[in-house]
Amino acid sequence: MSIQVKFFASLREQIGISDTEIESAATAGHAWDMATQNAARPTNTLVAINLEYAQFEDKINDGDEVAFFPPVTGG
Amino acid sequence: MSIQVKFFASLREQIGISDTEIESAATAGHAWDMATQNAARPTNTLVAINLEYAQFEDKINDGDEVAFFPPVTGG
Amino acid sequence: MSAHISASPFDPWQAIASHQQDSALANKFGATATFIGSMRDFNDNADVSKMVLEHYPEMTQHFLNKLEQQAIQRWDLLDCLIIHRVGEINPADPIVLIACWSAHRRATLDACNWLIEELKHNAPFWKKETRQDGERWVAENTNGL
Amino acid sequence: MSAHISASPFDPWQAIASHQQDSALANKFGATATFIGSMRDFNDNADVSKMVLEHYPEMTQHFLNKLEQQAIQRWDLLDCLIIHRVGEINPADPIVLIACWSAHRRATLDACNWLIEELKHNAPFWKKETRQDGERWVAENTNGL
């Protein structure tokens, strides 16, 4: 198993990754560090785990999908 | 010159008049009395003078159009 | 901007689309809010098979024109359309249509809200319902229902 | 009830009319409120010639479905339709459509209000505008504007 990590919009462009896999991570914040090789995290970054908004301290399990993105601007 | 007096909806049916003319009237309330031959005025009756909401004490001038109607139920 | 009193049924979506098509504002408005009130076959715990809407033609038209002007001024709308049925109305018929166009969403939604309450509480229209036990004038509009 | 994410332009009035036609609720709803957000050729003091809307397909669809369910439950709606564009968008294109049907007017207007604010502030979509001086991600949606 592994963790899928996704980036969207301006974050995707800044990090230069849209989609990647990491072996494992304790928390969402940890997944960011691993996927970005410890890039600085913009303060307004949002995170979702398995399609639901989450916190950076939230635990990650094997097989989870973690996504990072900037404030949303739809509608 | 004269005053045109109109009645709408349930009031038109109760009074039995849709449209009539009176010679003159001091106020809208007076116009009601003259046009209806002093019929009792339901408490929720509304009045308009020349197409604008008005009060029963408002003065009537020659040529005015006075209308009486119950609470409105459009929309 | 226009306010119509219609003695025959109208298709609300078609009316809005055609009004909007004639407008020169297509690239300028970012928001459109609309409200449609239709006839239900049920009111106040009774089946309603038909309805007649009476109005005071000159005052009603004058009132609708003024309402539109006030809404446009107060919320800085780019355009506004009101259509209101009169005469004999059947279940599922649209009775009233309000559409507001503006640069911004808050203006259109707030104007729509205000217009429907004004129409319900102050525009000179009167409903008479036909029920199983006969005809009956509707006594008063409810608050916000 | 349905929530669509559309990669091609749509006609909002036609979409509402056709959704409503398929509904069995014609005699039951007394009120329909709709909101349409369209692309303006001007934002934040600059001309905008084009826009690209990015989304997170699975999460966005999941989010829209949940929003509809919540609105239907909270306001006792009879039906609800949401359509949201993604991809390349041109000035005057509709971006978002919300339509709510209910027995009563207050429910439809309040639900529309709530849905557009939820969509603006929480639905996973991101706008990138093309201006004379290049492309630019929109930083944040405004409150109620």
Q: Which band of pLDDT confidence, cut at 50, 70 and 90, is reported for residue D23?
A: confident
Candidates C110, C97, C99, C123; CA nearest to C34 is C99
Given a cut of 70, is residue A23 above it in pLDDT? yes
State how far residue C66 is from chain D, nearest Cα, in angstroms.
Answer: 23
Candidates C144, C1, C143, C141; CA nearest to C71 is C1
Does residue C122 contact residue C63 with C-beta atoms inside 8 Å?
yes
State how far residue D45 is from chain C, nearest Cα, in angstroms.
Answer: 13
- What's the pLDDT at D144? 62
Query: What count of other Cβ atoms lies within 10 Å of the Cβ of residue D7?
Result: 10
Does residue A31 contact residue A45 with C-beta atoms inside 8 Å?
no
**Which residue is listed with tokens 């094997």?**
A62
CATH class of residue range C3-137? alpha beta
Domain residue spans of chain C: 3-137
> Rounded mean pLDDT of B18-43?
97
Q: Which residues of B touch C (CB under 8 A)?
A: 6, 8-10, 48, 51-53, 67, 69-75
Token pair, residue B51, equals 């197409």
Classified as helix, coil or strand, C137 is strand
- What's the pLDDT at D142? 74
Size of interface A-D (CB pairs under 8 A): 70
Neighbours of chain C (3+ CB pairs under 8 A): B, D
- What's the pLDDT at B34? 97
Domains annotated for chain B, with CATH where assigned, are 3-69 (3.10.20.30)
Measured between CB atoms, which of C63, C84, C125 is closest to B73? C125
Does residue C100 contact residue C33 with C-beta atoms inside 8 Å?
yes
Measured between CB atoms, which of A10, A69, A75 is closest to D56? A69
Q: State the Cα–Cα distance between residues C145 and D104, nearest whole angstrom.
A: 5
Inter-chain residue contact D41 with C33, CB threshold 8 Å:
no
* Segment (H or E) for C55: strand C46-55
Neighbours of chain B (3+ CB pairs under 8 A): C
Inter-chain residue contact C30 with D39, CB threshold 8 Å:
yes
- What's the pLDDT at B29? 98
> pLDDT tens digits, residue range A38-62?
999 999 999 999 999 999 999 999 9
Does residue D13 contact residue C15 with C-beta atoms inside 8 Å?
no
Q: With a threshold of 0.90, tell me whether the complex ipTM lies above it.
A: yes
> pLDDT tens digits, residue range A5-17?
999 999 999 999 9
Given a cut of 80, is residue D114 above it in pLDDT? yes
Inter-chain residue contact D39 with C32, CB threshold 8 Å:
no
Q: State the Cα–Cα distance between residues C138 and D32, nearest whole angstrom.
A: 21
Distance of CA D20 to the CA centre of its chain: 17
Size of interface C-D (CB pairs under 8 A): 108
Given a cut of 90, is residue D8 above it in pLDDT? yes
> Rounded mean pLDDT of A20-33?
97
Residue B74: its chain C contacts at CB < 8 A? 53, 55, 84, 95-96, 119-120, 123-127, 141
pTM for the structure as a whole? 0.94
- What's the pLDDT at D1? 87
Interface check for C109 against chain D (CB to CB < 8 A): the answer is yes
- What's the pLDDT at D97? 98
Count of alpha carbons within 13 angstroms of residue A35, beta-carbon side: 30
> pLDDT tens digits, residue range D56-71?
999 999 999 999 999 9
Low-confidence stretches of chain C (pLDDT < 50) are: none
Residue C109: its chain D contacts at CB < 8 A? 35, 109, 112-113, 116
Q: Is B62 exposed, middle or buried (0-12, 13-18, 19+ CB in 10 A)?
A: exposed
**Which residue is listed with tokens 């001086």?**
D133
Residue of D nearest to A66 (CA): D59
Burial D103-123 (b: 16+ CB within 10 A, else e): bbbbbbbbbbbbbbbbbbebb
Interface check for C105 against chain D (CB to CB < 8 A): the answer is yes
Q: Is C136 exposed, middle or buried (0-12, 13-18, 19+ CB in 10 A)?
A: middle
Higher pLDDT, D112 or C47: D112
Q: Write out the DSSP string of A43-71.
A: TT-EEEETTEEE-TTSB--TT-EEEEE--
- What's the pLDDT at C144? 62
In the predicted model, what is the mean pLDDT of chain D?
A: 93
- What's the pLDDT at D145? 61
Q: Any idea what DSSP says for residue C114?
A: H
> pLDDT tens digits, residue range D27-81?
789 999 999 999 988 777 778 899 999 999 999 999 999 999 999 999 999 999 9
Inter-chain residue contact D104 with C145, CB threshold 8 Å:
yes
Distance of CA C139 to the CA centre of its chain: 19
State how far residue D57 is from chain C, nearest Cα, in angstroms.
Answer: 24
Q: List Cα–Cα distances, B37 to B10, B32, B34, B40, B62, in angstroms.
A: 18, 8, 5, 9, 20
User: Residue type at A51?
Assistant: L
Residue D28: its chain C contacts at CB < 8 A? 40-42
Q: Is B17 exposed, middle or buried (0-12, 13-18, 19+ CB in 10 A)?
A: middle
Distance of CA C9 to the CA centre of its chain: 13
Long-range contacts of the stretch B51-55 (C-beta < 8 A, 24+): B51/C58, B51/C59, B51/C62, B51/C63, B52/C59, B53/C122, B54/B28, B55/B28
